[in-house]
Each structure stands twice: as C-alpha cells, then as structure tokens.
C-alpha cells in the first residue's frame, strides 16, 4: 500500500486525496482481518469436545456396596474418580486438622457433601499421575490418605495436600446424591 | 529488488541471508503484468484459494474422520451432528471441491480461447493438465471416504476401468483394491493418498507459477508485452482485482454452503455402502460427467477407457496441434466460431453423462464424443494453416489507450476518481 505514492506525485492537490485512499486501504485490511478471524474460530472450536463427548460427561454410581474403610475407583471423563467410604476415625482426623497446617486451606466439610463419602478426582495436582492408596496394601503416605509415587506428594484423609510438590488439594468433582445409595458425578 | 529496499531492519537482516522477502516481492508485488487483463485472468488466484480451502478444511475433517469400513459413514455423520461446526466445515470441503472444478474449467477455457497454451507457454499448459489429472484423482478418492452407496459404487466402477487393460488388467485391479473387492484395504489407501495428493498438487502449482513468471501472463489480445508502457505492477493493481474476485467467489460459495449444500451432491451417498446392492442409477460427481459420457459412448470396454483417457491426453499435445501463430481468438474469426461450438459440445457431454445410457442419449453421446476429438485432431490443425487472421495491434498500449503512446504514469492517472 505504501506504493500508492505514485499517485501522490501525479496529484498536485494531493493532501486530502491520500487520506481518503488510506482510509479505504485500512478499511479493506480491517474487513479482511475480521473475515479471517470469523473463519478461524470454527476451525479452532472444532477441536473442543463434540456434542457426543459432552453427552457422556456425567455418570451414575451405586455406592451401597462400598464397605466402611474401602474405596472404589470409577472412570469419569477419561479420568479416575476415587470414592472412599471413610471410617469415623478418618473423618475425625480430617476435621481435627488445623487449617494453618495446610498448603491449600480448606475445611473437610467443604469437601464432602456427606462426611462418610469422600469423592475426589484421582489425579495428582502436581503433574497428573494417579496417586496410590485406593487398594488395601497400597502406600497411603504420611497422612493416611493418598501418596503420589511420581514425585512424592502426600494427601490426607480429606485428599488435601500435606507434603510434596503438588500445589493444591485433590479436586472434588461436581456431584449430587440422587438417593442415599446413588450419586451422579458431572 | 535488492534487500535494502525493505523498511524494517529485521526484514532486511533476514532477507540478506534468506531472500524469501525479495522472492515474494518479486512474484506478487512488482511483477510486471499486461495492463489489459480481463476478469478471465482471475481464475488462477481463485484456484489457488480453492486449494488452500480444501487443504485447511480437509486437515480439520481428518481429525474426526475414521478410515474404516465399519466407522467411516458414522464418523462422517458424527462430523455433521456432533463435532462443533462440523457440518459447516464438511459442507465447505464438499462444495469447495465443486467450486474448485468450476474455477479450473473456466481457467482452462480461458487458456483455450486466448491461446495461452502456445509457445513459449507449452510447459505451463502441460503442468496445468497435470494438476487437472491430480485433482480428478484426489476428488475421486475423497468421494469414496464417506463410504456411502455412491462412494462404494463409484470406487468399484472407476477402479474396474483398469480391468480393461489386456492381460494384466485383473491383476492391476486386485492391486488397487488390496483384496477381491473394494473393501477396508481400499478405503485405507484411498484416505492415505487423498491426504497426500493435495500437497503434491501444491508442489506442481509452484512449478506452474515458476513457468508463468518466466514469460509473464498472456493477455486478451495475445501479443507479447513490449516494455513498460504495456505493463503495470502486480501490486496494487492486480492484487486488488484478485481480492475483488475472491470476495465474489466467497459470496457465491457461502450461498451454496449455507442454502444449497447438497445441490451438487447425490442423495444416495447418504445411504451407507452396501456391497450387495447397486443403486438404480449411478452417476459420478458432476465434474466428471463429460468424461463419463465419453466412456459410455463407446460400445467396447477397452475402447471406452482409452477414449476417456485420450480426451485428456489430447490436452497434453494441444500446443502442437494448433500451430497458428496468432494466440487470441479475437483475431481468429473461424477459430472463434469453432471454440464456441466446442464449448457447447463440452457442456452437452456433461449433460449426456448424467443421463441414463439408453436410446437417443447414446447416439447423442457418440456424436458429441466424435466432435470432441474432431475439434482437436482435425479442425485445429486445419485452421492453423488455412485460416485468414485479422491484423494484430502493434502493441498492448495501442488498443488500450486508443493509439496515443503514453508513459505508465499517464496511464495510472487517466481515470480520475470522483
Ligand atoms: C485438491 C484438493 C482436494 C479435493 C479436490 C478434495 C475433494 C474431496 C471430495 C469431493 C470429498 C467428498 C466430500 C463428501 O461427499 O463428503 C472429500 C472428502 C474428504 N476429504 Fe478432501 N479434497 C481435497 C483436499 C483434502 C485434504 C488436503 C484433506 C486432508 C488433509 C482432505 C480430507 C478429506 C476427508 C477427511 C474427507 C472425508 C470427509 C467427508 O466426506 O466430508 N481433503 N474430499
Ligand atoms: S505428579 Fe504426583 S507428585 Fe508429581
């Protein structure tokens, strides 16, 4: 567009003319940019989860079979979800913890809808490994919750980070109790 | 153009070491172009745009497409219903394929009319015919991917063309299929090649442009440019004209994509492929119809296949069939008449290719097929010796500026803006 000065030379009364020309050039580029952006959006947005993927985004789980002190792991959105039926001792210890001792302070009440059942996304908040502690006999870490073997993060009986490199507590997924024995995650 | 002409020091630094900016500047900026090009010269840039749209939308489709006989059809339906904007991306891909052929056919007819295939542009023309062949192969294999009834039976019929070759035909067909019928192996290799070939086309397009820039564009009066008074710089004059063409093209494409997305397709391709039942009336995509008509016009398997490929082969030798030194049809009164007869005949072949192969349609197909070859093999060589051509203007500047010789500067300044 800079080359339009050819015209300026042959246009003695020039001053006002190039202004008008510049406006048209800028307007043209602006419209082309707008057009390109509005075409780019669908091409990028198609990378997001499709409608059928979103439709699978919630699951229902029967929790009546989990004995006190036991945990189950279910798959939700391609990730493990831990459901632990906690013992009264575990609940008591989670409640007794001083918030000042926590890296990511959060009350146990805020993390479990019913204190007996703790529902967590089983993905370490450090770099995404699955922590140990679900099966009997697995290491549960220094705080009797979960232990991530990848880089050594320890979580307590409320799934809160206590020691190691992970920055935040294990995430609590959105869930509801559909009845006393069935929860819907997602 | 030397590197220090660029304002930005970064650009200058890079260009000194890697002269991409000089090359671009040379190709798309100060490239001297005949000043009398008409709108028929817009179709090259439109073809390039079409190829770009095909590659971008195709790569996106491939992210959600599954090349397996059990999943291909439903993966395309999933693109239509579930993938975000998938319906639009697929409709753009489908319809741009058709628009691509419209644009390329017009581009080719432009070459035929203005004699752009003549010396020194023979290789430029031949590279174009190579691109055309590659496009047909790409589109054919793309049409197989959704694995509908037309996909399956189109693939079956077209691959079976090769069985006409004596002795080795059957083995070649088995080789193409990777089995004993069009099946999963066929679908997989077609997907692989369908992804590859557009990039090969892009490579040949680069050669096409290199050949074009060797002697520059031909023009509506078909005489050589004789210096700066005959040319203007590509930018901004032809860039803005190309952008205008692109705007019109995109507008038409949008109308079809959003309001008539299946107008150029065939409803049977929304029925999943069934190897046990052929649809009552199978037709290829519209852009293959003229060649399909030639195939069916001949009552002999090998003969039909040979003539069909021959219809494209004559395009390769066209520069040596038409030896008239005058390029543009404007100065060839007889050629001009025959050009339009050829044009109507080509459309007629397309129409006949879409009709059932029976009764009057067969006879008409034969006449039209014969004429196609008569035009190239008999009329053009005869015309080049016997036709009396009209006197050619002395230069491009002469007819454009009404005879008075001018400097380029006056030429720009002539139309005053209001
Ligand atoms: C010269 C360029 C191209 C042409 C002429 C072309 C042509 C076609 C055609 C005619 C179809 C069938 C459309 C339908 O009925 O659904 C198709 C489908 C397809 N093409 Fe292409 N294509 C080109 C480039 C590409 C590229 C570069 C890719 C990927 C890298 C691609 C990927 C696909 C896929 C995945 C399908 C199947 C999905 C569908 O049916 O919509 N295409 N193509
Ligand atoms: S991923 Fe768990 S500690 Fe690093």
pLDDT in tens, chain A (186 residues): 444 444 444 445 545 567 888 898 899 999 999 999 999 999 999 999 999 888 878 899 999 999 999 999 999 988 999 999 999 999 999 999 999 989 999 999 999 999 999 999 999 999 999 999 999 889 999 999 999 999 999 999 999 999 999 999 999 999 999 999 999 998
Q: How far is B106 from chain A (nearest CA, A)?
A: 26
Residue B111 inside a domain? The answer is: yes
Cβ-Cβ contacts under 8 Å, B412 against chain A = 6-7, 10
Q: Residue B254 and residue B191: Cα distance in Å, rounded?
A: 27
- DSSP, collapsed to helix, strand or coil, labels residue B318 as helix
Residue B147 inside a domain? The answer is: yes
Strands A175-177 and A161-163: unpaired
Phi and psi, residue A80, nearest 5°: -75, 140
If asked whether residues B278 and B351 sit together in one domain, one would say no
User: Is B285 in contact with B137 (CB distance < 8 Å)?
Assistant: no
* Cβ–ligand 2 contact at A150 (below 6 Å): yes
**How far are the Cα atoms of A110, B43, B48 from residue B109, in angstroms, in the given order?**
74, 11, 17
Q: Residue B25 and residue A61: Cα distance in Å, rounded?
A: 64
pLDDT attached to residue B401: 58
Of all ligands present, the nearest one to the C-alpha of A154 is: 2
If asked whether residues B128 and B238 sit together in one domain, one would say yes
Candidate from A151, A162, A171 with most ligand 2 atoms within 8 A of CB, to mutate = A151
Residue B412 inside a domain? The answer is: no
The CB-side HSE value for B242 (13 A sphere, CA atoms) comes to 16
Q: In what order do the strands lie in the sheet with A71-76?
A: A71-76, A79-85, A117-121
pLDDT attached to residue B412: 44
DSSP letters, A154-182, are EEETTS-EEESS--SPPPPPPEEESSSSE
CB-nearest to A45 from B85, B233, B409 is: B85
Identify the residue whose C-alpha is closest to ligand 1 atom 31: B58
If asked whether residues B17 and B131 sit together in one domain, one would say no
Domain containing B338 equals 289-387
- DSSP, collapsed to helix, strand or coil, labels residue A59 as strand
**Residues B152, B155, B158, B163: what is their CA dihedral angle, to the nearest 10 degrees?**
-100
Ligand 2 centroid to Cα of residue B63, in Å, is 31
If asked whether residues B240 and B319 sit together in one domain, one would say no
Residue B6 inside a domain? The answer is: yes
Q: How far is A36 from chain B (nearest CA, A)?
A: 12
Ligand 1-lining residues (CB < 6 angstroms): B 51, 54-55, 58-59, 61-62, 65, 76, 90, 93-94, 97, 100, 135, 138-139, 142-143, 145-146, 194-195, 198, 201, 265, 269
Q: Which of B282, B312, B345 is where one domain is finished?
A: B282
Do the interacting molecules here have an ipTM over 0.90?
A: no
Domain count, chain B: 3
Residue B79 burial by CB count (10 A; 0-12/13-18/19+): exposed, middle or buried?
buried
Alpha-carbon A42 to chain mean position: 23
* Cβ–ligand 2 contact at A61 (below 6 Å): no
Annotated catalytic, B170?
Answer: no
If asked whether residues B231 and B324 sit together in one domain, one would say no
B234-259 and B43-62 helices, crossing angle to 10°: 50
**Closest C-alpha to A168, from A132, A133, A120, A117:** A120
Cβ-Cβ contacts under 8 Å, A53 against chain B = 82
DSSP letters, B54-119, are HHHHHHHHHTT---STTTHHHHHHHHHHTSTTHHHHHHHHHHHHHHHHHHHHHHHHHHHHHTTTST
Q: In what order do the strands lie in the sheet with A175-177?
A: A59-62, A182-185, A175-177
If asked whether residues B128 and B3 sit together in one domain, one would say no
pTM check: above 0.80: yes
pLDDT attached to residue B357: 86
Cβ-Cβ contacts under 8 Å, A10 against chain B = 409, 412-413
Ligand 2 centroid to Cα of residue B152, in Å, is 50
If asked whether residues B300 and B349 sit together in one domain, one would say yes
If asked whether residues B19 and B55 sit together in one domain, one would say no
pLDDT attached to residue A4: 46
Q: Residue B40 and residue B103: Cα distance in Å, rounded?
A: 10
* Residue B416: how many other CB atoms lie within 10 Å: 6
A94-106 burial, b at 16+ Cβ within 10 Å, e below that, comes to beebeeeebeeeb
Taking an 8 Å cut-off on Cβ atoms, the answer to whether B84 and A50 are in contact is yes
Q: Residue B345 and residue A58: Cα distance in Å, rounded?
A: 61
Residue A156 burial by CB count (10 A; 0-12/13-18/19+): exposed, middle or buried?
buried
Q: Which CATH number covers residue B107?
A: 1.20.810.10
* Residue A39: how many other CB atoms lie within 10 Å: 13
Task: Please compute Rg for chain B using Cα positions.
Answer: 24
If asked whether residues B242 and B300 sit together in one domain, one would say no
Q: Residue A180 and residue A166: Cα distance in Å, rounded?
A: 33
B360-374 and B301-321 helices, crossing angle to 10°: 30
Q: Residue B77 and residue B309: Cα distance in Å, rounded?
A: 35
Catalytic residue among B93, B98, B151, B285: B285
Residue B402 inside a domain? The answer is: no
**How far are the Cα atoms of A41, B42, B97, B346 from residue B252, in angstroms, in the given order?**
21, 15, 14, 24
Residue of A nearest to B251 (CA): A35
Interacting residues of A29 by C-beta distance below 8 A, sequence separation 6+: none
If asked whether residues B43 and B186 sit together in one domain, one would say yes
Residue B259 inside a domain? The answer is: yes
Residue B353 inside a domain? The answer is: yes
Taking an 8 Å cut-off on Cβ atoms, the answer to whether B64 and A46 are in contact is yes
If asked whether residues B68 and B47 sit together in one domain, one would say yes
Phi and psi, residue A136, nearest 5°: -65, 135
Q: Which of B265, B282, B299 is where one domain is finished?
A: B282
Q: Which of B238, B258, B282 is where one domain is finished?
A: B282
Task: Please compute Rg for chain A using Cα positions.
Answer: 29
CB-nearest to A43 from B60, B78, B235 is: B60
Catalytic residue among B217, B324, B365, B395: B217
Identify the residue whose C-alpha is closest to ligand 1 atom 37: B145
- DSSP, collapsed to helix, strand or coil, labels residue B141 as helix
- DSSP, collapsed to helix, strand or coil, labels residue A77 as coil
Q: Residue B29 and residue B148: Cα distance in Å, rounded?
A: 46
Instruction: Print the SS3 string covering B224-283.
Output: CCCCHHHEEEHHHHHHHHHHHHHHHHHHHHHHHHHHCCCCCCCHHHHCECCCCCCCCCCC
Taking an 8 Å cut-off on Cβ atoms, the answer to whether A45 and B89 are in contact is no
Residue B404 inside a domain? The answer is: no
Identify the residue whose C-alpha is closest to ligand 2 atom 3: A151
Question: pLDDT truncated to tens, each residue of chain B (418 aa)?
Answer: 454 578 999 999 999 999 999 988 888 888 899 999 999 999 999 999 999 999 999 999 999 999 999 999 999 999 999 999 999 999 999 999 999 999 999 999 999 999 999 999 999 999 999 999 999 999 999 999 999 999 999 999 999 999 999 999 999 999 999 999 999 999 999 999 999 999 999 999 999 999 999 999 999 999 999 988 999 999 889 999 999 999 999 999 999 999 999 999 999 999 999 999 999 888 899 999 999 999 999 999 999 999 999 999 999 999 999 999 999 999 999 999 999 999 999 999 999 999 988 889 999 999 999 999 999 999 999 999 999 999 999 899 876 555 444 444 444 444 444 3
If asked whether residues B296 and B244 sit together in one domain, one would say no
């Amino acid at each position: 567009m800079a080359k339009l000065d050819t015209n300026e030379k042959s246009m003695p009364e020039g001053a006002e003319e190039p202004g008008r020309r510049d406006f048209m050039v800028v307007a043209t580029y602006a419209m082309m940019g707008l057009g390109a952006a509005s075409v780019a959006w669908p091409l990028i947005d198609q990378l997001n989860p499709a409608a059928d993927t979103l439709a699978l985004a919630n699951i229902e789980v029967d929790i009546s079979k989990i004995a006190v002190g036991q945990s189950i792991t279910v798959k939700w959105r391609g990730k493990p979800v831990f459901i632990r039926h906690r013992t009264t001792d575990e609940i008591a210890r989670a409640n007794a913890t001083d918030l000042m001792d926590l890296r990511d302070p959060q009350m146990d009440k805020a993390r479990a809808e019913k204190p007996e059942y703790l529902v967590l996304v089983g993905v370490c908040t450090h770099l995404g490994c699955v922590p140990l502690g679900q099966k009997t006999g697995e290491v549960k870490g220094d705080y009797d919750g979960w232990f991530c073997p990848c880089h050594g993060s320890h979580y307590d009986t409320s799934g809160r980070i206590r020691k190691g490199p992970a920055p935040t507590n294990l995430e609590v997924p959105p869930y509801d109790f559909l009845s006393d024995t069935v929860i819907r995650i997602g | 153009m030397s590197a220090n002409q660029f304002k930005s020091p970064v650009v200058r630094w890079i260009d000194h070491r890697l002269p991409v900016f000089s090359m671009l500047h040379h190709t798309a900026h100060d490239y001297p172009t005949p000043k009398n090009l008409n709108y028929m010269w817009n179709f090259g840039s439109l073809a390039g745009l079409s190829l770009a749209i095909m590659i971008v939308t195709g790569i996106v489709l491939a992210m959600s497409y599954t090349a397996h006989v059990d999943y291909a059809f439903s993966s395309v339906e999933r693109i239509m219903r579930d993938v975000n904007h998938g319906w639009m991306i697929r409709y753009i891909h489908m319809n741009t394929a058709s628009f691509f052929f419209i644009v390329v056919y017009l581009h080719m007819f432009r070459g035929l009319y203005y004699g752009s295939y003549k010396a020194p542009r023979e290789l430029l023309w031949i590279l174009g015919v190579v691109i055309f062949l590659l496009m047909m192969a790409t589109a054919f294999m793309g049409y197989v991917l959704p694995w509908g009834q037309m996909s399956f039976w189109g693939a079956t019929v077209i691959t079976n063309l090769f069985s006409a070759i004596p002795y080795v035909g059957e083995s070649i067909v088995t080789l193409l299929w990777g089995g004993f019928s069009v099946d999963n192996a066929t679908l997989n290799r077609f997907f692989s090649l369908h992804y590859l070939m557009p990039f090969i086309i892009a490579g040949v397009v680069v050669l096409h442009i290199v050949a074009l820039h060797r002697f520059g564009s031909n023009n509506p009066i078909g005489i050589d440019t004789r210096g700066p008074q005959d040319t203007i710089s590509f930018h901004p004059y032809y860039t803005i004209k190309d952008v205008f063409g692109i705007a019109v093209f995109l507008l038409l494409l949008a109308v079809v994509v959003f309001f008539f997305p299946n107008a150029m397709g065939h409803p049977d391709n929304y029925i999943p492929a069934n190897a046990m039942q052929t649809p009552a009336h199978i037709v290829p995509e519209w852009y293959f119809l003229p060649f399909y008509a030639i195939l069916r016009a001949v009552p002999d398997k090998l003969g039909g296949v040979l003539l069909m490929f021959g219809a494209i082969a004559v395009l390769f030798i066209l520069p040596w069939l038409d030896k008239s030194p005058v390029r543009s049809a404007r100065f060839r009164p007889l050629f001009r008449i025959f050009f339009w007869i050829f044009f109507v005949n080509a459309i007629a072949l397309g129409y006949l290719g879409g009709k059932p192969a029976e009764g009057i349609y067969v006879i008409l197909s034969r006449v039209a097929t014969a004429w196609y070859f008569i035009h190239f093999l008999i009329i053009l060589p005869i015309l080049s010796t016997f036709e009396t051509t009209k006197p050619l203007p002395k230069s491009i500047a002469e007819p454009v500026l009404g005879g008075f010789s001018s400097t380029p500067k006056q030429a720009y300044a002539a139309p005053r803006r209001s």
